[in-house]
């Protein structure tokens, strides 16, 4: 660290994603890497570079700067919803598909169902499927135990 910078408490960086700039022993210039601090202490860091499996021990006096990175935000996932029954399709269009109340109310339930079925749910954050337990329970079985 230079004398104008204050040394961060390296122990608070344990488990954090950081951008680390340090001068390796025997090197002239600093090296900047992105990765995770496996263990931080007052004597240095055990640093794992992004994309690497091994760790590097970096002594505190060789650290030029450490910048904590913001946590990664999770991706939006696709939720599975039950099929929408008639009588609730217009409300579903307003709640989940951004339709205005006026537009949804202008349709009959049958028209709303037709509009909803025409939507490409492959690019949306939800899809409609029967619950797996219900699908298995709907399989018809004869009295002799054979499936129809």
Residues 87 and 98: their CA atoms lie apart, in Å, by 18
Instruction: Find the mean pLDDT for residues 139-146.
Output: 52
* Residue 23: predicted pLDDT: 93
CA dihedral 114, 117, 123, 129 (to 10 degrees): 150
Q: In CATH, which of 3.90.1150.10, 2.30.30.520, 3.40.50.150, 3.30.930.10 is domain 10-68?
A: 2.30.30.520
| pTM listed for this prediction | 0.50
Confidence of residue 56 (pLDDT cuts 50, 70, 90): very high
Domain residue ranges of the chain, discontinuous segments joined by +: 10-68, 79-137
């Amino acid at each position: 660290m230079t004398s104008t910078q204050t040394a961060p408490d390296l122990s608070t960086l344990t488990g954090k994603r950081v951008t680390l700039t340090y001068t390796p022993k025997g090197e002239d210039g600093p090296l900047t890497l992105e990765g995770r601090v496996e263990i931080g202490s007052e004597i240095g860091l055990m640093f794992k570079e992004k994309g690497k499996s091994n760790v590097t021990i970096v002594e505190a006096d060789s650290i030029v700067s450490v910048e904590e990175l913001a946590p990664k935000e999770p991706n939006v996932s696709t939720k599975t919803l039950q099929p929408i029954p008639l009588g609730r399709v217009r409300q579903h269009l307003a709640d989940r598909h951004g339709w205005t109340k006026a537009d949804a109310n202008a349709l009959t339930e049958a028209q709303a169902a037709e509009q909803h079925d025409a939507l490409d749910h492959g690019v949306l954050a939800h899809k409609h499927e029967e619950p797996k337990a219900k699908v298995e329970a709907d399989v018809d079985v004869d009295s002799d135990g054979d499936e129809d």
